[in-house]
Amino acid sequence: MTFALDTAAPNAEAPPANALTVEGLTTSIRIAGRWFDAVRDVSFTVGPRETLALVGESGCGKSLTALSIMGLLPAAVGRVSAGRIVVDGVDMTAADEPAREAMRGDRIGMIFQEPMTSLNPVLPIGFQIAESLIQHRGLSKRDARKRVVELMELVRIPAAEERLDAYPHQFSGGMRQRVMIAMALACSPRVLIADEPTTALDVTIQAQVLALLADLQKQVGLAVLLITHNLGVVASVADRVMVMYGGDVVESAPMRSFFKAPTHPYSEALLNAMPRVDRATALAPIPGQVPTLPDMPAGCRFQSRCPLRVDKCAERPPLVPMASDPAHAVRCWVRAGA
């Protein structure tokens, strides 16, 4: 389980130890005819059985990072403008569209935030789960159905066999998210991206779905990139944490050392804004909001909301490992090297 910083250069010849490697990913979005970098120079790796949590407020570029990896950016307004994405040893950025299609749903799966709208309302859910098996594994419809029942049982959908031909509107939000998970895992991918999989669900259902994900991860050895803005979720399931702000990775650390010593002022602010049982003091919501892309300040993007701001912040700080813990890196002029 190695942790690659900006500088890490994996060996292309060696068998892939990492299920997912992202190097220098920059994703641009077109707004009113101009292109803006919404994700800047993001690098990380996720190994088998590992969960990397990507956290930050909404509008920080988390979903765009995920969609870039999947090759699902909205074609007219988004593009990967730099970087390399390697999934299970296959360079997705160099691949053509048919090759990427062959990877999606087979070696890398994704589940989305909105279970209510992410399933096709006019197709039976059993068929929707079976589709990737038919597409990637060449299974007949009949064989696929058998496997779908197993998958539905795996994600603990009760009465799976009877519900094969049911439609999404006959399922609750939590059950639909289980269907999404079954769908993403149908072909036993090596990587799963979960973009806020529980945000739209009730608290009790959230816990069930997260426990299910963690369980399945252990069983099948998945590498999980978990996107969330809920630090409670991070604390319970993540191995490592990566904090994003305005498209930049501002802090990256093993889970324990992140919660023990959050270093970037934005990470501190996120933690202070989080309700906790072990703390009686009032919540301190972060003042202001993430600037829109055209309004991003040059240099450090957090400077407009940062209590520690100095003149140097007009220049973009690098992401550097801390002297005390080389696995813990931070992008801040003030806090770096501390």
Ligand X SMILES: Nc1ncnc2c1ncn2[C@@H]1O[C@H](COP(=O)(O)OP(=O)(O)O)[C@@H](O)[C@H]1O
Q: Which does 135 bind (CB under 5 to 8 A by kind): ligand X, other proteins, Mg ion, none?
A: other proteins
Between CA 258 and CA 63 the distance in angstroms is 22
Alpha carbon distance 188, 177 (integer Å) = 17
Q: Which residue number, 63 or 128, has a Cβ lying nearer to Mg ion?
A: 63
Q: Tell whether residue 132 is a contact of other proteins (CB under 8 A).
A: yes
Residue 121 binds to other proteins (criterion: CB under 8 A): yes
Q: Determine if 25 is a binding residue for ligand X (CB under 6 A).
A: no
Tell me the site size for other proteins, rule CB under 8 A.
Answer: 31
Task: Give 61 or 126: the residue with its C-beta nearer to Mg ion.
Answer: 61
The phi-psi region of residue 240 (left if phi > 0; otherwise alpha if psi is between -120 and 50; otherwise beta) is beta
CB of 104 or CB of 190, closer to other proteins? 104
Contact call for residue 63 and Mg ion (CB under 5 A): yes
Instruction: Name the one residue in this structure whose structure tokens are 């994703």.
Output: 27
Which window, 124-132, 216-224, 275-283, 317-325, contacts other proteins (CB under 8 A)?
124-132
226-250 core/surface letters (b: 16 or more CB in 10 A; e: else): bbbbbbebbbebbbbbbbbbbbbbb
Tokens of 140: 């007949």
DSSP annotation of 283: P
> Which residue's CB is nearer to ligand X, number 64 or number 144?
64
Binding mask 39-78 for ligand X (x = CB under 6 A): -----------------x-xxxxxxx---------x--x-
Q: How far apart are CA 155 and CA 179, in angstroms?
A: 8
Does 292 interact with ligand X (rule: CB under 6 A)? Answer: yes
Quote the tokens at residue 206: 């959230």
